[in-house]
Amino acid sequence: MEHKVREWKQVMIPYEQAVEELKVKFKAIRKEYRDMNEYSPIEFITGRVKRISSILEKCKRYNIPEENIDEMEDIAGIRVMCQFIDDIYKVVDLIRARDGKDLSIVYEKDYIGNPKDSGYKSYHIIIRYPVQTAFGTKEVLAELQIRTLAMNFWATIEHSLNYKYQDKLPLDIKERLKKTADAASMLDLEMSDIRNEIIRAQLMFEQKSNL
Amino acid sequence: MEHKVREWKQVMIPYEQAVEELKVKFKAIRKEYRDMNEYSPIEFITGRVKRISSILEKCKRYNIPEENIDEMEDIAGIRVMCQFIDDIYKVVDLIRARDGKDLSIVYEKDYIGNPKDSGYKSYHIIIRYPVQTAFGTKEVLAELQIRTLAMNFWATIEHSLNYKYQDKLPLDIKERLKKTADAASMLDLEMSDIRNEIIRAQLMFEQKSNL
Amino acid sequence: MEHKVREWKQVMIPYEQAVEELKVKFKAIRKEYRDMNEYSPIEFITGRVKRISSILEKCKRYNIPEENIDEMEDIAGIRVMCQFIDDIYKVVDLIRARDGKDLSIVYEKDYIGNPKDSGYKSYHIIIRYPVQTAFGTKEVLAELQIRTLAMNFWATIEHSLNYKYQDKLPLDIKERLKKTADAASMLDLEMSDIRNEIIRAQLMFEQKSNL
Amino acid sequence: MEHKVREWKQVMIPYEQAVEELKVKFKAIRKEYRDMNEYSPIEFITGRVKRISSILEKCKRYNIPEENIDEMEDIAGIRVMCQFIDDIYKVVDLIRARDGKDLSIVYEKDYIGNPKDSGYKSYHIIIRYPVQTAFGTKEVLAELQIRTLAMNFWATIEHSLNYKYQDKLPLDIKERLKKTADAASMLDLEMSDIRNEIIRAQLMFEQKSNL
Give C134 to chain B, closest Cα distance, Å: 6
Partner A contacted by B183 (CB < 8 A): yes
Number of Cβ atoms within 10 Å of the Cβ of B50: 18
Q: Mean pLDDT throughout B171-194? A: 87
Q: How confident is the model at residue D201 (pLDDT cuts 50, 70, 90)?
A: low
Contact partners for chain D, using 3 or more CB pairs closer than 8 A, are A, C
**Residue A1 pLDDT > 70:** no
A touches B, CB cut-off 8 Å, minimum 3 pairs: yes
| CA–CA gap between residue B44 and residue B13 (Å, rounded) | 25
| pTM across the whole model | 0.86
Neighbour order of strands in the sheet with D44-49: D44-49, D76-82, D136-148, D123-133, D104-110
- For B50-85, the pLDDT digits (tens) are 999 899 999 999 999 988 999 999 999 999 999 899
- The answer on pLDDT for B24 being more than 90 is yes
Q: For position A88, what pLDDT does the model report?
A: 97
Count CB neighbours of D45 within 10 A: 18
> Distance of alpha carbon D102 from its chain centroid, rounded?
18
Please list every residue in chain C whose beta carbon sits closer than 8 Å to the beta carbon of residue B94.
Answer: 134
ipTM: 0.83
pLDDT of C119-132, one tens digit each?
999 999 999 999 99
Is-catalytic flag, C143?
Answer: yes
Task: Please compute, for residue C88, the number of CA atoms within 13 A of its CA located in the half-sphere on the CB side.
Answer: 26
- pLDDT of D159 reads 85
**CB of A65 closer than 8 Å to CB of D170:** no
Nearest residue to B146 via CA among B109, B116, B117: B109
Sign, CA torsion C92/C97/C101/C106: positive
pLDDT averaged over chain B? 89
Burial A40-79 (b: 16+ CB within 10 A, else e): bbbbbbebebbeeeebeeebeeeeeeeeebeebbbbbbbb
Cα radius of gyration rounded to whole Å, chain A: 20
Is residue D203 over pLDDT 70?
no
pLDDT at D147: 97
Position D123 pLDDT exceeds 60: yes
* A151 CB neighbour count, 10 Å cutoff: 28
- pLDDT per residue as tens digits for the range A175-190: 888 988 998 898 899 8
Q: How confident is the model at residue A168 (pLDDT cuts 50, 70, 90)?
A: confident
> Beta strand A136-148 with A76-82: parallel, antiparallel or unpaired?
parallel
Q: Which of B201-205, C77-81, D179-183 has the lowest mean pLDDT?
A: B201-205
Quick one: pLDDT at residue D200? 72
Q: Which residues contact A155 (CB under 8 A, 6 or more apart)?
A: A120, A121, A122, A147
Name which residue leads in pLDDT, D168 or A30. A30
pLDDT of B205 over the 80 cut: no
Residue scoring higher pLDDT (A200 or C70): C70
Residues above pLDDT 70, as percent of chain B: 91
**Cα B174 vs. chain centroid, distance in angstroms?**
23
Residue D4's pLDDT band (boundaries 50, 70, 90)? confident
Query: Is residue A151 within 8 Å of residue A184, measured between CB atoms?
Result: yes
* Chain C residues with beta carbon closer than 8 angstroms to that of B21: 21, 24-25
Number of Cβ within a 10 Å radius of residue C92: 19
Residue type, A177: L
* D6 part of contact set with chain A, CB < 8 Å: yes
Amino acid code (one letter) for C139: E
- Which residue out of A7, A20, A43, A143 is catalytically annotated? A143
**What's the sign of the alpha-carbon dihedral D200, D202, D207, D211?**
positive
Main-chain dihedrals φ then ψ at residue C26, nearest 5 degrees: -75, -35
Residue of B150, B156, B173 lying closest to A194 (CB–CB): B173
Residue C38 phi/psi, 5° resolution?
Answer: -110, 155
Assign D141 to helix, strand or coil: strand
- pLDDT for residue C124: 98
Q: Which of B35, B99, B104 to mutate to test the interface with C (most CBs of C within 10 A)?
A: B35
